[in-house]
């Protein structure tokens, strides 16, 4: 049987400026984490330390350890699951190979060899700049040369990320010893037909003995089958009658089946392969209709409105992201009502732990190929690397039922058409051949059970603008960059794959990241941790459309920018969900952060939930109630994504901001399963001016409509009582209290509240549960409560 020996111990890292200086190295890991552990660089996440460690990415680095020859097997392979990025591998001075792709694994025959194993990393800058010198300039959204090297693009910096260009053995390395033959790869093609789950396992082997007769055995529970290996290939099929289906969360259970494959010579088991699969059918409806060209995911015949978030690498040093950390972050997504996670193209193909967690949590995965915001050369040496990484990762990720869509790139088709690339390129290659040629061919050949789309955004063909909202996927960035969030209501895209609004991280996260700094929106550390072009200016302009800017009051600024982020995203999702099935999904930019930064994330770089995260629970719930202006009046919209129908009586109240109820009415609606219904709001309860607002209550659901911006509303001075309650606090309002927020991390850094923004009418109360609060105190809780206040 194949024997695998992890090579995690005994590594050293040689410092490039001193041939005799060595450091202990952690594998998997990277240069920055080893230097941090040795105390040789400051934490680049704190203050402006990022700039102090920029030199690391410009140097060469060498990892070394002793390698002893294996015995008792015919062949010994040295296997690297990931090398970041351009490296030469030597064993006792003999070159085993040279590599230049972070997104691939590598295997070297070291049979009978032993001695000093050396992995010598070139600077990623040097490699990228050499390729640029050979192939010529290509435009990109950033000045860094990320499009010339197959490396995580955002390690070169992004509008939410630091520039920390590292190197290292970032995924596991091991010795594999085997005889006769080994399993090289298994492609499981999983389908469902008439209630029967079918798995066609295409098995490739590598041989050390050409003449050996080999068979492959497979089983799922009690279902077993056997096939013959013809040369280096074999096929075995399993049928599972009455197979339970795998469903995304909210639609059913996540039934998973263990598949085992064994390579056999005579009676001897040579190698094994084990994965968990799920039986489900996946479709993507891109048919034309009266509204344009659709983009609707279909799972097991069920058409979905996708409730999504964009995922970036959870750490700029991805080797630090453990299985537990993946699980925590993805559980936070599921807790927010998310059912789809898009793995964005400026990052990586994530580890098995990510996709396994998605399988078990019922989170659909939209996987980008790693291309983002740049023109990518299609010549060698990049073209061969792109094909090799695509082939490897398509096969690697195929077993996961959560994976439902392959996407060619992020914003590059759009960039070619709109960002001035076309004239600058003057006919040079820029990636179109990857997105419309190579990648769809690889997916069709290796993984025909899943759909492929050429890019995000993409209208389906060059007959339409790549970011045309009426066709395919759309990225909505005029809002935030140029216009207020009411701009979301101006159109109904078929699928909104990116949109969002910035806010700073939690207060405790800022305090940790900027120790000792007198915090202000434009203090040095805050500016360093704001990477977006004119980010603070956009935050200010967005705030001033709704509130008086709180000059000199950082705490109010911090709270109000959080409120604005949640309201902005709510404006988009409420509008687009209310237009199902024309609009078939929203993917918020973004779920997470890779360091402490002001960004579009719902969860900050320290893992703390912003108010947006809690707001997503309401916005992405199966049932959503919203009010919108149309046809000169107001309409109540009930969005029902549940499996059953929804009939409800709704109490509508026209309320004065001073407190009294000025009018009331009752309406009823019925919304079918996975359907939307609209009810006109009676004229007598439509608010008249900035002093009034509308409240719609349907059971536990509430929708609010304020007809004016906050700076125009004559709010009363908020009055409320705070008392301790078991596990938290209770707040009782005496006046209108709008967007009340307990910033629990101001009580203690580890404290978390179970809810975000809540609006209370006079006499109403809310209990907020708080975990991680060691010394509950009502006065302290009051100091951590914020709400909208009257304009001074």
Over residues 1-12, the pLDDT tens digits come to: 999 999 999 999
Q: What's the pLDDT score for residue 4? A: 96
- How many whole angstroms separate alpha carbon 339 and alpha carbon 334? 7
Would you call 35 helix, strand, or coil by DSSP?
helix
Task: Give the DSSP H/E element, type plus range, for residue 562.
Answer: helix 554-577
CATH superfamily of 294-620: Glycosidases (3.20.20.80)
Q: What's the pLDDT score for residue 295? A: 98
Q: Quick one: tokens of 479? A: 């809002």
Options 2.60.40.10, 1.10.357.10, 2.40.50.320, 3.40.50.720; CATH of 180-277:
2.60.40.10
> Phi then psi for 329, rounded to 5 degrees?
-70, -40
Q: Quick one: tokens of 645? A: 């129908």
CATH topology classification for 624-712: Immunoglobulin-like (2.60.40)
Task: Give the DSSP H/E element, type plus range, for residue 403.
Answer: strand 403-407
Q: What's the pLDDT score for residue 755? A: 97
What is the reported pTM? 0.97
- Are the C-beta atoms of 700 and 749 separated by less than 8 Å? no
- How many whole angstroms separate alpha carbon 171 and alpha carbon 348? 12
- DSSP H helices in 225-278: none
Reading phi first (left if > 0) and then psi (alpha if -120 to 50, else beta), residue 469 is in alpha
Length of the chain in terms of residues written: 792
Q: Which residues neighbour 649 within 8 Å (Cβ) at sequence distance 6 or greater?
A: 666, 667, 668, 698
- Are the C-beta atoms of 376 and 431 separated by less than 8 Å? yes
DSSP 471-535: BSEEE--HHHHTB-GGGGGG---SEEEE----B---HHHHHHHSTT----TTSHHHHHT--STTH
- DSSP H helices in 42-179: 49-52, 124-135
Domains 3-176 and 294-620 belong to one CATH topology:
no
Write down the number of H helices and E strands in the chain.
Answer: 17, 44
Examine residue 28 and say whether the peptide bond preceding it is cis (omega within 30 degrees of 0).
yes
Q: What's the pLDDT score for residue 19? A: 66
Say what percent of the chain tops pLDDT 70: 100
- How many whole angstroms separate alpha carbon 634 and alpha carbon 665? 14
- How many whole angstroms separate alpha carbon 651 and alpha carbon 667? 7
Would you call 656 helix, strand, or coil by DSSP?
strand
Please state which CATH number belongs to domain 3-176.
2.60.120.260
Q: Quick one: tokens of 284? A: 């993507």
- How many whole angstroms separate alpha carbon 142 and alpha carbon 151? 15
DSSP 598-654: -BS-SB-TTSPBPHHHHHHHHHTSSEEEEEEEETTEEEEEEEE-SSS-EEEEEEEEE
Could you tell me the residue ranges of all domains in the chain? 3-176, 180-277, 294-620, 624-712, 720-786
The β-bridge relationship of strands 646-656 and 296-299 is unpaired
Q: What's the pLDDT score for residue 15? A: 81
Q: Which residues of the chain have pLDDT under 70?
A: 18-19, 792
């Amino acid at each position: 049987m194949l024997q695998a020996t992890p090579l995690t111990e005994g590594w050293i890292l040689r410092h490039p400026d001193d041939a005799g200086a060595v450091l202990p190295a952690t594998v998997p890991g990277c240069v920055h984490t080893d230097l941090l552990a040795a105390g040789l660089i400051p934490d680049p996440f704190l203050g402006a330390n990022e700039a102090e460690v920029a030199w690391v990415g410009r140097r060469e680095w060498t990892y070394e350890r002793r390698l002893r020859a294996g015995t008792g097997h015919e062949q010994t392979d040295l296997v690297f699951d990931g090398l970041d990025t351009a490296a030469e591998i030597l064993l006792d001075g003999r070159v085993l190979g040279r590599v230049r792709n972070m997104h691939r694994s590598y295997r070297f025959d070291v049979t009978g060899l032993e001695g000093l194993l050396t992995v010598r990393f070139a600077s990623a800058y040097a490699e990228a700049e050499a390729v640029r010198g050979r192939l010529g300039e290509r435009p990109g959204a950033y000045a860094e040369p990320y499009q010339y090297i197959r490396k995580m693009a955002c390690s070169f910096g992004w509008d939410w990320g630091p520039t920390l260009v590292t190197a290292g053995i970032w995924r596991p390395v091991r010795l594999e010893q085997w005889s006769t033959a080994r399993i090289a790869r298994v492609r499981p093609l999983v389908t469902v037909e008439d209630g029967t789950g079918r798995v066609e396992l295409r098995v490739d082997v590598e041989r050390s003995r050409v003449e050996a007769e080999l068979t492959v055995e497979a089983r799922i529970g009690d279902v077993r089958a056997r096939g013959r290996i013809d040369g280096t290939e074999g096929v075995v099929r399993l049928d599972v009658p009455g197979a339970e289906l795998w469903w995304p969360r909210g639609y059913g259970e996540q039934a998973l089946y263990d598949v085992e494959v064994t390579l056999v010579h005579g009676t001897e088991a040579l190698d094994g392969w084990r994965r968990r699969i799920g039986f489900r059918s996946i479709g993507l409806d891109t048919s034309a209709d009266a509204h344009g060209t659709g983009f609707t995911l279909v799972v097991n015949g069920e058409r979905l409105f996708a409730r999504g978030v964009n995922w970036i690498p959870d750490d700029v040093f991805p080797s630090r992201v453990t299985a537990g950390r993946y699980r925590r972050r993805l559980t936070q997504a599921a807790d927010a009502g998310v059912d789809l996670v898009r793995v964005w193209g400026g990052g990586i193909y994530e580890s098995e732990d990510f996709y396994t967690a998605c399988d078990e949590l019922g989170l659909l995965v939209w996987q980008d190929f790693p291309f983002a915001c740049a023109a990518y050369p299609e010549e060698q040496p990049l073209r061969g690397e792109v094909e090799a990484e695509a082939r490897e990762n398509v096969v690697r990720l195929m077993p996961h039922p959560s994976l439902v869509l392959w996407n060619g790139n992020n914003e590059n088709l759009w960039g070619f058409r709109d960002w001035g690339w076309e004239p600058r390129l003057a006919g040079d290659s820029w990636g179109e051949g990857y997105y419309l040629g190579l990648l769809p061919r690889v997916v069709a050949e290796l993984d025909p059970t899943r759909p492929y789309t050429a890019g995000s955004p993409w209208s389906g063909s060059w007959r339409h603008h790549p970011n045309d909202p009426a066709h395919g996927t759309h990225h909505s960035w005029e809002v935030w960059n140029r216009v207020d969030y009411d701009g979301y209501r101006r159109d109904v895209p078929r699928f909104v794959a990116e949109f969002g609004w910035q806010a700073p991280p939690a207060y405790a996260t800022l305090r940790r990241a900027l120790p000792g700094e007198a915090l202000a929106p434009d203090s040095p550390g805050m500016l360093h941790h704001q990477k977006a072009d004119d980010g603070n200016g956009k935050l200010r302009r967005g705030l001033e459309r709704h509130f008086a800017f709180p000059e000199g009051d950082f705490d109010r600024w911090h709270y109000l920018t959080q409120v604005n982020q949640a309201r902005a995203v709510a404006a988009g999702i409420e509008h687009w969900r209310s237009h199902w099935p024309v609009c078939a999904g929203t993917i918020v930019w973004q779920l997470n952060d890779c360091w402490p930064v002001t960004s579009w994330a719902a969860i900050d770089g320290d893992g703390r939930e912003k108010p947006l995260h809690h707001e997503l629970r309401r916005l992405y719930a199966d049932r959503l109630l919203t009010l919108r202006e149309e046809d000169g009046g107001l309409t109540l919209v009930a969005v029902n994504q549940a499996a059953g129908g929804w009939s409800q009586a709704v109490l509508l109240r026209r309320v004065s901001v001073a407190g009294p109820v000025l009018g009331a009415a009752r309406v009823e609606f019925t919304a079918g399963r996975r359907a939307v219904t609209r009810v006109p709001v009676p004229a007598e309860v439509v608010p008249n001016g900035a002093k009034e607002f509308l409240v719609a209550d349907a059971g536990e659901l509430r929708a609010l409509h304020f007809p004016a911006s906050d700076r125009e509303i004559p709010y009363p001075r908020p009055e409320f009582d705070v008392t301790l309650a078991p596990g938290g606090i209770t707040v009782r309002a005496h006046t209108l209290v709008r967007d009340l927020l307990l910033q629990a991390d101001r009580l203690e850094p580890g404290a978390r509240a179970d809810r975000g923004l809540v609006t209370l009418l006079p006499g109403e109360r809310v209990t907020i549960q708080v975990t991680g609060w060691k010394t509950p105190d009502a006065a302290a809780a009051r100091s951590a409560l914020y709400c909208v206040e009257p304009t001074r």
